[in-house]
């Protein structure tokens, strides 16, 4: 991995990156820039695989958009990463964008102004974020390796300002500070040094220094707590009014300092956010939280926290007594580690532990009994039986399992159960997120009908949905889960439920007539008999009519644009085409700059009947668009 290509947070919060544009270099290749070499010393070359994909996507998107046009970093994220977690990769995309701009492949703009990528080659470097660096400063890189600045300035044959770092862990280094015939700095430990671009470094700060950076600064007294208080007074804010203390991504380390002096200024803090720092010790966390008696929520995600010791558990068991919301994402812990920590949080009701190493579950027996919301996104749980162990959390109302690898959902038969269509598991679960798992059968979907309180479900991006249209999948899910009120964040209205359940009965009518006494059919369609009683039985052969209208046979329609400059034209379309795709098709046919805003179908059998195609996700067959119908197009 090159020093130019090392992973880093890119975009400073004070100068957000807004747009990418094509630059002076016209190329589709992935350039990595020049490197500095001195036999085996210097800047090595190469990029990791994710960065390669990001670089290629930025280049292709900017080129396809055209000259003087721009793209947003979010477009790249949405293209590459899953819809549920693309925001987590924004910093990576922004950083790669800056690197491409440094190579003159693209131009980075903020609003309408081009962002300057160059930093003056001075003895003190100051990146876009406002942090300046001097020899002797303690820093960390994006991978949270710690080091000391030994050199600030230019490096021969390279643009911009570089930092020469002596790393605490010598294996992180590559040389002794000498490149070619020039010695830029020296190291106390052999081969512990290397160079990094200035925007890849972040200063280490004590808690006091982080407070100064975040909440106030007086140049006359740069490190005093009084200066922080004065700064807040100028903003008409007093420290005892602070309810949320947010020091995330400030390079905070658990250095020895007088925490009591700091906390005496803000005794009313209820929310403490220290995510993405370099805090290792639970003693530091415990001491900090002990001084905040009104604390309700803590976030220590993305910190290299060590396993808590028995001594620390005993010492700080009263530090979190009022805390009811705990966030510990990307901490590298398994479930046993969280269960051990849970002794500290007797009142916690909302536990978020996403992107950790949880694969197996030990059921809690004493702690966590007040949990109503549990977030396990991005963990490594494969077996649904592990999830069933959480049924001891009788108050659980929301469960987020997005981004795991669950394949099949089955609730076990209960020996004393009279009603086999419901389950005693998760008696109060109302909201469930199973987006981006590996569920590959419809029986798993039907199993959720057994949950007595389930009202909201997210289940997109699972393999079983790849076999049909999005609209048909929505109908089938609604029909199979009778109590559902919201699917993928969209309300289910009475009419939609009625239509979905009737279509479900019709779709499986022939199969039911052929297999009505079959155990397999009953297992795969547990609500079918209930829906027959509710909506009536379909006749034999009715399904074939429905299937015929749904299959991909072309039908002729007449597109009638409601603007004088365009003439009607006949086109062939497929009944499974969604309204959204039809609008895009119409835009191409008539070469308009925008898709139409409204399409109305006029029946060929009865011209007096017309109806609006107003749901972009519904297909033409659902609207019963037939051979010879006219489609009135409005822009």
DSSP state of 115: P
Tokens of 536: 């009536």
Mean of all residue pLDDT scores within the chain: 80
Mean pLDDT of 399-417: 86
Mean pLDDT of all residues in 565-574: 86
Question: Is residue 274 over pLDDT 90?
Answer: yes
What are the distances in angstroms from CA 347 to CA 318, 368, 369? 11, 8, 9
d(CA 468, CA 190): 61
Give residue for tokens 């980075």: 108
Each residue's pLDDT tens digit, 249-258: 889 998 777 7
Tokens of 208: 């006091």
pLDDT band, very low/low/confident/very high, at 156 (cuts 50, 70, 90): confident
- At 282, which helix (H) or strand (E)? helix 282-290
- Do residues 274 and 300 lie in contact, with contact meaning Cβ atoms separated by under 8 Å? yes
271 exposure class (CB count in 10 Å sphere: 0-12, 13-18, 19+): middle
Q: Does residue 159 carry a pLDDT above 90?
A: no
Q: How far is CA 29 from CA 21, 25, 52, 59, 108, in A?
A: 16, 10, 11, 8, 19
Is beta strand 297-299 parallel, antiparallel or unpaired with respect to 271-273? parallel
Write down the pLDDT at residue 476.
95
- pLDDT surpassing 60 at residue 456: yes
What would the two tokens of residue 483 be? Answer: 């109590």
3-state secondary structure of 487: strand
pLDDT of the residue at 275: 94
**Confidence check: pLDDT of 92 > 90:** no
What is the tens place of the pLDDT at every residue in 257-271? 777 777 787 888 999
Q: How far apart are the C-alpha atoms of 633 and 601, rounded to whole Å?
A: 9
Residue with tokens 């039986």: 385
Torsion of CA 613, 619, 625, 629, to 10 degrees: 70
Whether residue 170 contacts residue 147, with contact meaning beta carbons closer than 8 Å, is answered with: no
pLDDT band at 227 (very low <50, low <70, confident <90, very high): low
Q: What is the mean pLDDT of residues 46-61?
A: 72
The burial class, CB within 10 Å (0-12 / 13-18 / 19+), for 633 is buried
Give the pLDDT of residue 553.
66
Give me the pLDDT at residue 442, please: 94
Per-residue confidence (pLDDT) for residue 415, from 0 to 100? 54
HSE-CB at 123 with a 13 A cutoff on CA atoms is 3
Cα-Cα-Cα-Cα dihedral sign, residues 437, 443, 445, 450: negative
Cβ partners under 8 Å of residue 23, min gap 6 = 100, 101, 104, 105, 106, 107
pLDDT at 297: 97
Judged by average pLDDT, the poorest of 294-303, 327-336, 542-551, 588-597 is 542-551
pLDDT for the residue numbered 9: 26
For the chain, the distance separating the N- and C-terminal CA atoms, rounded to the nearest angstrom, is 51
Output the pLDDT for position 54: 83
Q: Check: CB of residue 401 under 8 Å from CB of residue 434.
A: yes
d(CA 310, CA 193): 38
**What pLDDT shows up at residue 377?**
96
Helix/strand/coil for 181: coil
Nearest residue to 97 (alpha-carbon basis) of 87, 89, 107, 88:
107
- DSSP class of residue 415? T
Q: Above 60 in pLDDT, residue 168?
A: yes
Least trusted range by pLDDT, from 42-51, 128-137, 358-367, 382-391: 42-51
Q: Is 313 helix (H, G, I), strand (E, B) or coil?
A: helix
Check residues 521 and 547 and name the one with the higher pLDDT.
521
Q: Which helix (H) or strand (E) holds 299?
A: strand 297-299
**pLDDT value of residue 83:** 55
Q: Residue 578 has which token pair? A: 């969604």
Integer Rg of the chain from CA: 30
The pLDDT-based confidence of 374 (bands split at 50, 70, 90) is: very high
> What pLDDT, on a 0 to 100 scale, did the predictor assign at position 523?
83
Residue 74, pLDDT > 50, answer yes
Count how many Cα atoms sit within 13 Å of the Cα of residue 563 in the half-sphere of its side chain. Answer: 10
**Contact between 446 and 420 (Cβ < 8 Å):** no
Calpha distance 278→253 (Å, rounded): 5
Residue 602 confidence (pLDDT): 87
Q: Answer with the residue of higher pLDDT: 127 or 589.
A: 589
**Does residue 503 sit in helix, strand or coil?**
helix
Judged against a pLDDT cut of 70, whether residue 181 lies above it is answered with yes
pLDDT for position 56: 83
Q: What is the pLDDT of residue 379?
A: 96
For residues 212 and 287, the model is more confident at: 287
Cβ neighbors of 524 (< 8 A, separation 6 or more) are 442, 443, 446
195/618: higher pLDDT = 195
Does residue 398 carry a pLDDT above 60? yes
CA–CA separation, 215 vs 265, rounded Å?
Answer: 12
pLDDT at residue 6 tops 70 = no
How far is the C-alpha of 504 from the C-alpha of 472, rounded, in Å? 10
The rounded distance, in Å, linking the Cα atoms of 369 and 339 is 12
Query: Is 417 a residue whose pLDDT tops 80?
Result: no
User: Comparing 28 with 296, which gets the higher pLDDT?
Assistant: 296
Question: How many other CB atoms sit within 10 Å of the CB of residue 39?
Answer: 7
How far apart are the C-alpha atoms of 497 and 478, rounded to whole Å?
A: 6
At 549, give phi and psi (nearest 5°).
-70, -20
pLDDT at 30: 28
The per-residue pLDDT for range 97-126, each reduced to its tens digit, is 877 776 667 777 643 333 333 333 333 444
Is the pLDDT at 151 greater than 70? The verdict is yes
Averaged pLDDT for residues 129-149: 83
How high is the pLDDT of residue 266? Answer: 83
- Mean pLDDT for 183-207 is 89
Query: What is the reported pLDDT for 117?
Result: 37
């Amino acid at each position: 991995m090159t020093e130019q290509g090392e992973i880093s947070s890119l975009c400073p919060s004070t100068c957000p990156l807004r747009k990418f544009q094509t630059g002076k270099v016209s190329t589709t290749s992935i350039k990595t820039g020049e490197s500095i070499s001195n036999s085996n010393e210097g800047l090595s070359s190469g990029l990791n695989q994710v960065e390669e994909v990001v670089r290629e996507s930025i280049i292709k998107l900017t080129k396809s958009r055209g000259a003087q046009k721009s793209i947003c970093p979010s477009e790249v994220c949405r293209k590459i990463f899953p819809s549920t977690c693309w925001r987590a990769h924004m910093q990576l995309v922004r950083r790669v964008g800056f690197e491409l701009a440094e190579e003159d492949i693209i131009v980075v703009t903020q609003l309408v102004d081009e962002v300057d990528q160059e930093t003056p080659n001075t003895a003190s470097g100051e990146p876009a974020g406002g942090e300046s660096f001097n020899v002797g400063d303690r820093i960390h890189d994006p991978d949270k390796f710690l080091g000391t600045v030994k050199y600030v300035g230019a490096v021969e044959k390279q643009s911009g300002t570089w930092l020469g770092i002596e790393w605490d862990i010598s294996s992180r280094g590559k040389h002794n500070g000498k490149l070619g015939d020039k010695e830029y700095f020296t190291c106390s430990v052999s081969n512990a040094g290397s160079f990094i671009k200035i925007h890849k470094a972040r200063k280490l700060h004590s808690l006091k220094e982080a407070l100064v950076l975040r909440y106030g600064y007086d140049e006359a007294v740069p490190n005093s707590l009084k200066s922080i208080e004065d700064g807040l007074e100028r903003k008409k804010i007093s420290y005892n009014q602070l309810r949320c203390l947010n020091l995330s991504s400030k390079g905070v380390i658990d250095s020895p300092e007088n925490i009591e002096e700091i906390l005496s200024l803000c005794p009313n803090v209820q929310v403490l956010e220290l995510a993405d720092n370099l805090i290792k010790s639970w003693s530091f966390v415990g001491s900090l939280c002990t001084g905040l008696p009104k604390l309700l929520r803590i976030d220590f995600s993305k910190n290299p926290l060590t396993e808590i010791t028995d001594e620390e558990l005993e010492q700080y068991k009263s530090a979190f007594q009022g805390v009811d919301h705990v966030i510990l994402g990307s901490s590298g812990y398994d479930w046993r580690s969280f269960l051990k920590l849970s002794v500290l949080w007797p009142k916690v009701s909302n536990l978020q532990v996403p992107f950790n190493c949880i694969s197996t579950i030990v059921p809690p027996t004493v702690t966590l009994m007040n949990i109503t919301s549990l977030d396990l996104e991005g963990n490594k749980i494969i077996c649904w039986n592990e999830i069933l162990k959480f049924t001891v959390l009788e108050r659980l109302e929301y469960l987020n399992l997005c981004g795991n690898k669950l394949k099949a959902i089955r609730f076990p038969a209960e020996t004393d159960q009279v009603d086999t269509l419901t389950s005693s598991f998760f008696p109060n679960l109302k909201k469930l997120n199973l987006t981006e798992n590996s569920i590959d059968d419809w029986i798993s979907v039907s199993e959720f009908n057994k949950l007595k309180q389930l009202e909201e479900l997210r289940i997109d991006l699972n393999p079983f949905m790849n076999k049909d249209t999005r609209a048909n999948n929505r109908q089938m899910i609604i029909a199979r889960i009778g109590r559902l009120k919201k699917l993928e964040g969209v309300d289910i209205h009475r009419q939609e439920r009625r239509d979905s359940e009737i279509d479900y009965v019709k779709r499986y009518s022939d199969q039911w007539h052929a297999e009505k006494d079959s155990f397999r059919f009953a297992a795969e369609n547990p609500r079918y008999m209930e829906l027959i009683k509710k909506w009536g039985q379909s006749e034999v052969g009715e399904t074939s009519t429905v299937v015929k209208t749904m299959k991909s046979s072309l039908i002729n329609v007449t597109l009638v644009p409601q603007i004088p400059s365009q003439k009607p034209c006949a086109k062939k379309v497929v009944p499974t085409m969604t309204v959204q795709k039809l609008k895009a098709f119409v835009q191409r046919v008539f070469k308009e700059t925008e898709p139409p805003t409204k399409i109305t179908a006029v029946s060929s059998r009865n011209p007096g009947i017309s109806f609006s195609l107003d749901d972009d996700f519904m297909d033409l067959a659902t609207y019963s668009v037939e051979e010879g119908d006219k489609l009135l197009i409005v822009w």
